[in-house]
Amino acid sequence: MRRFLRSVDPRTLMPYFLLAVAVILAYKAMDHVPEALAFLSRVWSIITPFFYGFLMAYILNIPCCALQRLYNKTGINFIRKHRKGLGILSVYLIMMGIIALVVNLIAPIIRNSFIHFSANYRLYYDNAQGWLNSLEFFGYTIQLDLVVGAIQEFFSLEQMMTSLQALSDFSTGLFKIFLTFVSSIYILFERDKFKRFMKRTLIIITSKKAYEKTLKYADDLNHNFKQYIYTQTIDGLILGTIVTLQLTYIIRSPYALMLGIMLGVVNYIPYFGSIFGSLAAVIVVMLTQGFRTAALAALILLITQQIDGNFIQPKLMGGSFSLSPLLIIISVTVGGAFAGVLGMVAAIPIVAVLKDILEDITVYYEHKRAKEEDEELPLTD
């Protein structure tokens, strides 16, 4: 027995120990569901600024690393020695410059467009419903309130308004924003130490093979997220610019900039984002400019989306996410059900890695079965 215990690597037993602890905690939590949910809600409200600070740091780390590499190529020793701090400082200065640009130039235009649309919404709505009542599809008329309600339910506008109301306490909301901002700076400064700590911890609790596999999949997941953020950001800028120009010079919509920015932002949501964003843009055009103009806008947006989906996005992604449309739809739906819009955005990079893991497991057992069958073959003279 002692010889057996000495021959067993304790690190190989760690996953089973963690699984047993998780099962026990889940069993105990089932007896106190309301208390457990209240506790989790309280914990989430406390760590929310740090969670969003981590997300901000993760996104800003992409341009920060690029700037550090650029500073490292300079011949100035001071810049090369302090490239990390200079890279972080440069990224935040650029971010604050972009925010100032948006607040001073773009935000007033969007605000005026929104105010103008809200003031005339009832007139637009009644005119559009009158046009739809004059049309019949197999004896049925389209009820505009059902279409608008479906879009509102998809984007969870009520939930968004609840979140905004939760920030009605200005001082609390301002403190959380400040804490998110500060924590993201410290996370960027400490990212290398954090990575080393995680690797050391992983070496202790796992075997060498599990450690190497975990690092591989973690690197793949990190690469997928960076590639997805980069691709969707560039593609959103391209799509938003094209749509803004089309709605401005072809459709002559007074809300072209607002709709173009909306389509660029919702482009982060795979598959569904562009569909519902285009549908919302068509509805706005129909409300404000009539059914014929809306039909022309729908045709233009459809062609633009096809060009973007078949040429621009594949060129930017370079085959990084070779997932079937059905798997993308399932992934986005499940991600949205568990984590809302954030889950939709994160679904594709995560599922791409899970697909690779499943493929590796399948290949492993296929080779194992083939080897066992070869060993069972009878020897022939």
Domain ranges within the chain, ordered by starting residue:
7-119+169-206, 226-367
Residue 184 makes CB contacts below 8 A (sequence gap 6+) with 53, 54, 56, 57, 60
Instruction: Write out pLDDT tens, residues 53-98.
Output: 888 888 888 888 888 888 888 878 888 888 888 888 999 999 888 8
pLDDT of 121 higher than 80: no
Q: Which range among 165-179, 290-304, 332-346 shows the weakest confidence by mean pLDDT?
A: 165-179
pLDDT at 246: 92
**Residue 132 — pLDDT band, cuts 50, 70, 90?**
low
pLDDT averaged over every residue in the chain: 78
Query: Residue 15's closest CA among 218, 213, 193, 225?
Result: 213
pLDDT at 187: 87
CA distance 169 to 163: 12
Q: Which of the given ranges, 4-8, 110-114, 177-181, has the highest pLDDT on average?
A: 177-181
CA distance 219 to 227: 12
CB atoms under 10 Å from CB of 79, counted, come to 14
Instruction: Write out pLDDT tens, residues 214-268.
Output: 888 888 888 888 888 888 888 889 999 999 999 999 999 888 888 998 898 888 8
Report if pTM > 0.75.
no
Cα 30 to the chain's mean position, in Å? Answer: 31
Amino acid at position 265, single letter:
V
Mean pLDDT over 32-48 rounds to 75
Mean pLDDT over 111-124 rounds to 77
Phi-psi region of 169 (alpha: psi -120 to 50; beta: other; left: phi over 0): beta
Instruction: Write out pLDDT tens, residues 151-208.
Output: 555 545 444 444 444 444 555 667 778 888 888 888 888 888 888 888 888 888 777 8
pLDDT at 148: 60
pLDDT of 2 higher than 70: no
Cα 342 to Cα 107, 266, 268, 346, distances in angstroms: 24, 11, 10, 6
Helix or strand or coil: residue 140?
strand
If one compares 168 and 347, the residue with the highest pLDDT of the two is 347
Instruction: Write out pLDDT tens, residues 363-379.
Output: 878 887 777 777 665 55
pLDDT at 369: 79
Q: Which range among 138-142, 190-194, 207-211 shows the weakest confidence by mean pLDDT?
A: 138-142
DSSP letter string over 75-89?
A: S-HHHHHTHHHHHHH
Query: Residue 301's closest CA among 350, 344, 358, 259?
Result: 259
